Amino acid sequence: MATAAHKVTPKEANANPPPEAVVVRFAGDSGDGMQLTGGQFTLSTALAGNDLATFPDFPAEIRAPQGTLFGVSAFQINFGSASIETAGDAPDVLIAMNPAALAVNVDVLKPGGLIIADEGEFTDRNLSKAKYESNPLEDDSLAKWQLMKLNISQLTLDAVKPFGLGNKEALRCKNMWTLGLALWMFDRDRQPIIDWLKAKFAKAPDIAEANIAALNAGHAYGETAEIGGQVGQLHMPAAPVEPGLYRTVTGAESISLGLVAGTQLAELPMFFGGYPITPASAILHHLSRFKEYGVTTFQAEDEIAAVAAAIGASYAGSLGVTSSSGPGIALKTEAIGLAIMTELPLVVVNSQRGGPSTGLPTKTEQSDLYQAVYGRNGDAPMPVIAARSAADCFDVAIEACRIATRYMTPVMLLTDGYIANAAEPWKVPDMAGYERFPVQFLEEAPESGFEAYARDEKLARPWVKPGTPGLLHRIGGIEKKAGTGNIDYSPENHQQMTDLRRDKVAGIAVPDQEVEQGETSGKLAVVGWGSTFGPITQAVRRARKKGLDVAHIHIRHIWPLPKNLGQLLKGYDKVLVPEMNTGQLKTLLRDQFLVDAKPLNKVSGQPFRIAEIEEAIESTLG
Amino acid sequence: MNEMTPVKTTLKDWESDQEVRWCPGCGDYAVLKAVQRTMPDLGVARENTVFVSGIGCSSRFPYYMETYGFHTIHGRAPAVATGVKLANPQLDVWIITGDGDALSIGGNHMMHLLRRNLNTQVLLFNNEIYGLTKGQYSPTSRVGTRSPSTPFGSVDRPASPCAFALGSGARFVARGIDVNKNLPAVLKAAHAHQGAAFVEIFQNCIVYNDDVFAPFAAKPNAATSQLWVEHGEPMLFEKGTKGVALDRDTLSLKIVDVTDGDWQGAGVLVHDQTNRMIAHLLIEMPFGEFPMALGVLYDDPAPTFESAVVEQNRAASEGKVADLQKLVAKGQTWQVTKEPRVE
């Protein structure tokens, strides 16, 4: 049945030395369960002790018409025995469940890489939907790769026959057959997946058993079938990582856990107001299950109500949190201004996606930095911090809660669609190691008398909960008189309050900027923020191995920027800023420090490839 | 709140030190006084009382109440109040809004607050005009209203606040008039109602829409044009000489004459505030042909939103301990030991 059309030249085969990392891409129709397959493969990879990074890449349509090019859903995983920072540039293995999946993904496959294709789906009809004039499995168009044609559909049907499922139901087990084969290829334990299937289909044991049978059949196929050529088992040794307890975590999970931890460290209940939006909804889903941690979630009627309710909750003594993606953040903007004016704590999470307008809901971008830093009416400063990876989201969320409550201010936390969906191993933190920052509500008037807009040494005003006797006061969006907080439109007062709001945010204590790799001065600094951390790290590492004088600086605190950053950047001859936008951090750095920051931009909805940044480093130094 | 000992306060206790800045003669003054006069009778504590407003003339209201107050942004008072009430259900929350604030820019939030049944009092000051922005027509302005933005008269049909509220699922709908002595009684009923209590207050804008409600609100017209309904009482007006009855053929209301006090004989309806159909009929009575229905038109409590949220939070937390270390270590984990695994 299986034929490995091995037409790879020795040179091509040698282009891939014995791997310390492998990139596998599962691709199929959006109904084929590729995200599920990828997720379970990720789990098994993590359990095998490999370091890993993933990249789920799926269409905006829930069920795009079957077999079409735009309905292709893919999941890429990079795993290895060394440190992994990105989901990998080019896959070594492509699993294509239909012609469209092959057509969309094959071009990025490494020369000499392996294609596993379900030939059962390469029908005339599907070929034409994928715009193939002839069957690529039969002509020589795939000759620079290794090709393994398997009738996965038929093999699956055979495997699940005893369970008496209908044809459609039976074919749904295809992804588990494929996963079984992949588990065999990388010498993985099937048991965790079997346990997961049993739990998932606890109410439908037949379906569970059919899926397990498909999984086992795929595995057995690898073990027993005569698969020729280079297709064989590969065992990836565990990556050398710090000892400890690990789990996998996506950015959305990590942010949710970080928000719970942050409110617990502040000793406050959390109120989360949300409205469904891709790719931010997962945070609402996660938090709605954490009620025993004092979390109240509220699915509001719209984005504005979500943030407004969060502000109301902060006013009443909870920590108000809201989350959205760019278009939703735009709707929340007026209310964020209210939180700035009334100086109430609030955490706003923006899981950025491609824009403007509806843009690319399921694709990633970093194009909301201007919106976060500058995008409000009036002089309305607010702190902005950005997460660099799924695991980093945890600490950044805690930091957001800390700043919001200590400085009585809304805080914008930037993450993006890539981080939100991508999974990575995470060393479970020791919570005893986190500094608590319990909130002290004002409960009695100080001797000098109570003023709602009095200032502490950080310029924060007191937080008074309604229900507190003796401290009755009114707040609102109209300009406040310094001190009393009464309405005051007078020119001197507006000048004073505008300066005060600016100084309060500018004075937020931000740790000094450190250099991730390389020296603190030299020929070139590559400066990034957010999810470009992975590719920049790898690109700079490779460039430094080649002996290039390049350093990597990654900024968490976007606003206010670290105090030493300007001086630090001036120590390099050149500054390169890779961003998934048209140059927003670049503008900020130029504006704040008058440095000649050069942009490297990508707005394709896909993360940077390592090679793209590596080339830019070389040409900048060239 | 019912189980709490009544707190003794006076009208003065509810007046803040802020200078009231409405136009002289504005109906808002009368409503403010009515509210401040009502508060002592409610037996509530000032520190547990929160007034939340949106934007517009009426929304300055919280500054003048010696309570906690939050003057928010245009249309969003119901959303902010939802957060306040969910964060602390013990607070007694009043929402102050206007016709533009509640039914135009904030219509969505108003609808959802009412259908969720958040236990708050909503006072909608209806003056059928945008006052603060200098007189544009509003969503409740009658067809033909001439204003700076409609110099040839407005052409769109107005919204009916009480019909909107009832249609949104409100369980308490009432009407009052700014200067009318009955307003405190309506406010008390609204406060006593557990759930979202919606009160439309006809409020005169002396500058941009003066006397728009005079046909029924002006003293000389009161007897002939105001129908104050009360639960269990016949719907009589014009000093008991006229009443409202049901026309069974058309399933609509009609006016009947009552002679010698024999309202039963005339078939006058007895108000049942729990009857949603009657509430609908009263709200939809075309003014002119009929008097204006005022007072508590509908009052039929249902479980409140915040109590359901609190109960679900409690039930879902039962028997669980908030252990942060356990939470972060949830799911499938693996241990990496000091010695990397020998392969």
Tokens of B88: 């602390």
Least confident stretch, A243-247, A404-408, B291-295, B316-320: A243-247
* Nearest Cα residue in chain B from A50: B336
Which of B61, B82, B321, B325 should one mutate to test binding to chain A, selecting the residue with the greatest count of A CBs within 10 A? B82
pLDDT (tens digit per residue) in A517-537? 999 999 999 999 999 999 999
How far is the C-alpha of B132 from the C-alpha of B153, rounded, in Å? 20
Contact between B80 and A309 using a beta-carbon 8 Å cutoff: yes
Domains of chain B, by residue range, sit at 11-212
Instruction: For residue A469, list chain B residues with Cβ-Cβ distance below 8 A.
Output: 45, 47
pLDDT at A227: 63
Residue among B47, B66, B83 whose CB faces A469 most closely: B47
Contact between A487 and B313 using a beta-carbon 8 Å cutoff: no
Local confidence band at B338 (pLDDT 50, 70, 90 cut-offs):
low
Instruction: For residue B132, list chain A residues with Cβ-Cβ distance below 8 A.
Output: none
Those residues with Cβ within 8 angstroms of residue A593's Cβ, 6 or more apart along the chain or in another chain: A565, A566, A569, A570
pLDDT at A16: 42
How far is the C-alpha of A495 from the C-alpha of B304, rounded, in Å? 45
B36 close to B14: Cβ distance less than 8 angstroms: yes
Instruction: For residue A298, list chain B residues with Cβ-Cβ distance below 8 A.
Output: 82-83, 86, 309
Three-state DSSP class for residue A293: helix
Q: Is the pLDDT of residue A7 over 70?
A: no
More confident call, A276 vs A140? A276
Instruction: For residue B81, list chain A residues with Cβ-Cβ distance below 8 A.
Output: 312
* Nearest Cα residue in chain A from B319: A292
Residue among A260, A304, A475 whose CB faces B76 most closely: A304
Contact between B83 and A338 using a beta-carbon 8 Å cutoff: no
Contact between B18 and A486 using a beta-carbon 8 Å cutoff: yes
Q: Is the pLDDT of residue B2 over 70?
A: no
Residue among A238, A308, A337 whose CB faces B80 most closely: A308
H helices within A225-302, ranges in order? 251-265, 281-287
Question: Would strands A319-324 and A346-352 be described as parallel, antiparallel, or unpaired?
Answer: parallel
More confident call, A507 vs A244? A507
> How many angstroms away from the CA of B297 is the closest CA of chain A?
27
Instruction: For residue B90, list chain A residues with Cβ-Cβ distance below 8 A.
Output: 467
Instruction: For residue B48, list chain A residues with Cβ-Cβ distance below 8 A.
Output: 466-467
pLDDT (tens digit per residue) in B92-122? 999 999 999 999 999 999 999 999 999 999 9
Q: Is the pLDDT of residue B324 over 80?
A: yes
Residue A554's H or E segment, with its range, is strand A550-555
Rounded to the nearest angstrom, the gap between the alpha carbon of residue A195 and the centroid of all alpha carbons in its chain is 27
Phi, psi of B137 (to 5 degrees): -70, 155
Mean pLDDT (whole number) for A296-300: 98
Return the residue matching tokens 């065992």: A235
How far is the C-alpha of A322 from the C-alpha of A264, rounded, in Å? 17
Helix axes A174-185, A205-224, angle to 10 degrees: 40
CA nearest neighbour of A557 among A426, A422, A372, A294: A372
pLDDT at A15: 43
Which of B72, B95, B339 should one mutate to test binding to chain A, selecting the residue with the greatest count of A CBs within 10 A? B72
pLDDT (tens digit per residue) in B161-201? 999 999 999 999 999 999 999 999 999 999 999 999 999 99
As for the ipTM of the complex, it is: 0.97
Contact between B322 and A294 using a beta-carbon 8 Å cutoff: yes
pLDDT at A454: 97
Say which amino acid occupies B313. N
Q: E strands, B114-247, where?
A: 121-126, 129-130, 136-137, 172-177, 197-202, 226-229, 236-237, 242-247
> How many angstroms away from the CA of B319 is the closest CA of chain A?
9
Q: Which CATH architecture has domain B11-212?
A: 3-Layer(aba) Sandwich (3.40)
Residue among A46, A309, A394 whose CB faces B83 most closely: A309
Local confidence band at A351 (pLDDT 50, 70, 90 cut-offs):
very high
pLDDT at B207: 97
CA nearest neighbour of A121 among A155, A153, A158: A153
Residue among B112, B312, B325 whose CB faces A431 most closely: B325
Instruction: For residue A310, list chain B residues with Cβ-Cβ distance below 8 A.
Output: 83
pLDDT at B334: 83
H helices within A167-280, ranges in order? 167-171, 174-185, 191-200, 205-224, 251-265
* Nearest Cα residue in chain A from B341: A238
pTM, two decimals, is 0.90
Asked if residue A279 has a cis previous peptide bond (ω within 30° of 0), the answer is yes
Local confidence band at B3 (pLDDT 50, 70, 90 cut-offs):
low
Mean pLDDT (whole number) for A128-142: 93
Residue among A241, A246, A472 whose CB faces B333 most closely: A246
How far is the C-alpha of A539 from the C-alpha of A616, rounded, in Å? 9
Contact between A301 and B66 using a beta-carbon 8 Å cutoff: no
Local confidence band at A621 (pLDDT 50, 70, 90 cut-offs):
very high
pLDDT at A228: 52
- DSSP bridge pairs for A109: none
How far is the C-alpha of B186 from the C-alpha of B162, rounded, in Å? 14
pLDDT (tens digit per residue) in B44-87? 999 999 999 999 999 999 999 999 999 999 999 999 999 999 99
Q: Is the pLDDT of residue B342 over 70?
A: no
A81 close to A187: Cβ distance less than 8 angstroms: no
pLDDT at A428: 96
Among residues of chain B, what percentage have pLDDT more than 90? Answer: 94
Local confidence band at A10 (pLDDT 50, 70, 90 cut-offs):
very low
Contact between B334 and A309 using a beta-carbon 8 Å cutoff: no
B332 close to A48: Cβ distance less than 8 angstroms: no
What average pLDDT is seen over chain B? Answer: 95
CA nearest neighbour of A135 among A153, A156, A114, A149: A149
Q: Is the pLDDT of residue A37 over 70?
A: yes
Which of B55, B64, B70 should one mutate to test binding to chain A, selecting the residue with the greatest count of A CBs within 10 A? B70
Contact between B87 and A47 using a beta-carbon 8 Å cutoff: no
Those residues with Cβ within 8 angstroms of residue B95's Cβ, 6 or more apart along the chain or in another chain: B51, B52, B53, B77, B78, B81, B113, B120, B121, B122, B123
pLDDT at B308: 98
pLDDT at A58: 83
CA nearest neighbour of A339 among A318, A320, A361, A355: A320
Which DSSP letter does residue A395 get? Answer: H
Instruction: For residue A290, list chain B residues with Cβ-Cβ distance below 8 A.
Output: 327
pLDDT (tens digit per residue) in A231-257? 667 888 878 778 899 998 999 999 999
pLDDT at A486: 94
How far is the C-alpha of B324 from the C-alpha of B335, rounded, in Å? 19
Instruction: For residue A49, list chain B residues with Cβ-Cβ distance below 8 A.
Output: 334, 336, 341
Q: Is the pLDDT of residue A201 over 60?
A: yes
pLDDT at A590: 98
Local confidence band at B1 (pLDDT 50, 70, 90 cut-offs):
very low
Those residues with Cβ within 8 angstroms of residue A9's Cβ, 6 or more apart along the chain or in another chain: none
Asked if residue A192 has a cis previous peptide bond (ω within 30° of 0), the answer is no
CA nearest neighbour of B124 among B79, B162, B159: B162
Q: Is the pLDDT of residue B132 over 50?
A: yes
Q: E strands, A251-337, where?
A: 270-274, 295-299, 319-324
* Nearest Cα residue in chain A from B67: A472
Local confidence band at A6 (pLDDT 50, 70, 90 cut-offs):
very low
Least confident stretch, A16-25, A144-153, A342-351, A470-479: A16-25
Instruction: For residue A260, list chain B residues with Cβ-Cβ distance below 8 A.
Output: 324, 327
* Nearest Cα residue in chain B from A255: B328
Q: Is the pLDDT of residue B339 over 80?
A: no
Q: Which of A29-38, A357-366, B175-184, B324-333 has the highest mean pLDDT?
A: B175-184
What average pLDDT is seen over chain A? Answer: 92
pLDDT (tens digit per residue) in A93-108? 999 999 999 999 999 9
Residue A479: Cβ within 10 Å count: 16
